[in-house]
Amino acid sequence: MKIKTKIFCDIAELNQIKKFNKKDIVKGFTTNPSLMKKAGAKNYKTYSKNILKICKNKPVSLEVFADDYKNMKDQALKINEWGKNVYVKIPVTNSKGIFMGKIIKELNGMNIKLNITAVYNSQQSKKILKLINKKSKVIISIFAGRAGDTGKDPIPEFKRSIRLAKKFKNVEILWASVREPYNYIQAKQLGCHIITIPPNTIEKIEKFGKSFNQLTKETVKAFYKDAKSAGFKI
C-alpha cells in the first residue's frame, strides 16, 4: 500500500498558526520550546492552550522540556490533559544522552499519544519500537536536515526506520528538520507518513508544478529587474 505523506506545519507564532490552520494541505502541527521562545511565549501552558484553541481538529505535538524522568513524566501527564488532539513530544534521550525508554514505555502503556523527537538513526527507532505496544499512537520524528548539516546522509536511516515500523499500524515516521521544498518529494518517495515543514516552505510547495522554462524566464526577469533598479551600467 502506497503511503500518502501528510504535511504538518512546524510553527509557534499564533497569527501564522491561524493562517495555516485554514489550509487543507496542512494536516497537523508541531512545535517545540525553541520555536515558542522565538515567538515570544512567556508562559508555556497558556501559550500552548492558545495554540490548541486555534487548532481544535488537527493533531498538535507539544514538547516536554524537563531533563529528568520524574519532572518529564509530570509534564507529559499535564500536557496530555490539554486536549484530545495532543501528541506529547518526548526526546529520545535527555541532555545527558540517557535513553528515555522508561518514560516512553510507561506513557505508551497509558495510551498517551507520543511524538518521540530528536531521533537521528534507525538504531534509536529500533529501541523505541521494542518498547511500545501496537495500539497507542506513536510518531517517530527523524531530524533529516540537522543530520545533513553535519555531512551525514539521513536517507538510509529513514529507509531502515520505515521498514522496522511496518509491523506497527499505530506508528508513523516523520521527516523533521526540513531544509528545502524538495525534502517533501524525498519524504514521499521514501514513504514517510508525515513531514513537518516551516510555513514559508509550505507556501513554496503550494506553487509546485512550474516548468524549467518558466523558472528560467522568472529567474532572468528577476536579474534584469534588479540590475535596472540598481542603475547598473558598463
Could you give the residue numbers annotated as active site? 89
Task: Show the DSSP H helices in 90-154 as ranges.
Answer: 101-109, 122-131, 144-149
**182 and 146 Cβ atoms separated by less than 8 Å:** no
Q: Measuring CA to CA, how many Å separate 21 from each of 11, 80, 114?
A: 11, 21, 21
Q: Distance between CA 87 and CA 24 in Å, rounded? A: 20
Task: Report the alpha-carbon angle 12-16-85, nearest 5.
Answer: 60
Transcribe 4-37 into DSSP letters: -PEEEEE---HHHHHHHHT-TTEEEEE--HHHHH
User: Beta strands of the chain (E only): which ranges?
Assistant: 6-10, 26-30, 60-63, 86-91, 114-119, 138-143, 171-176, 194-197
Answer for the pair 175, 187: CB distance below 8 angstroms, yes or no.
Answer: yes
Run of H or E including 42: none
Measured CA to CA, the distance from residue 162 to residue 166 in angstroms comes to 6
Helix (H, G, I), strand (E, B) or coil at 122: helix
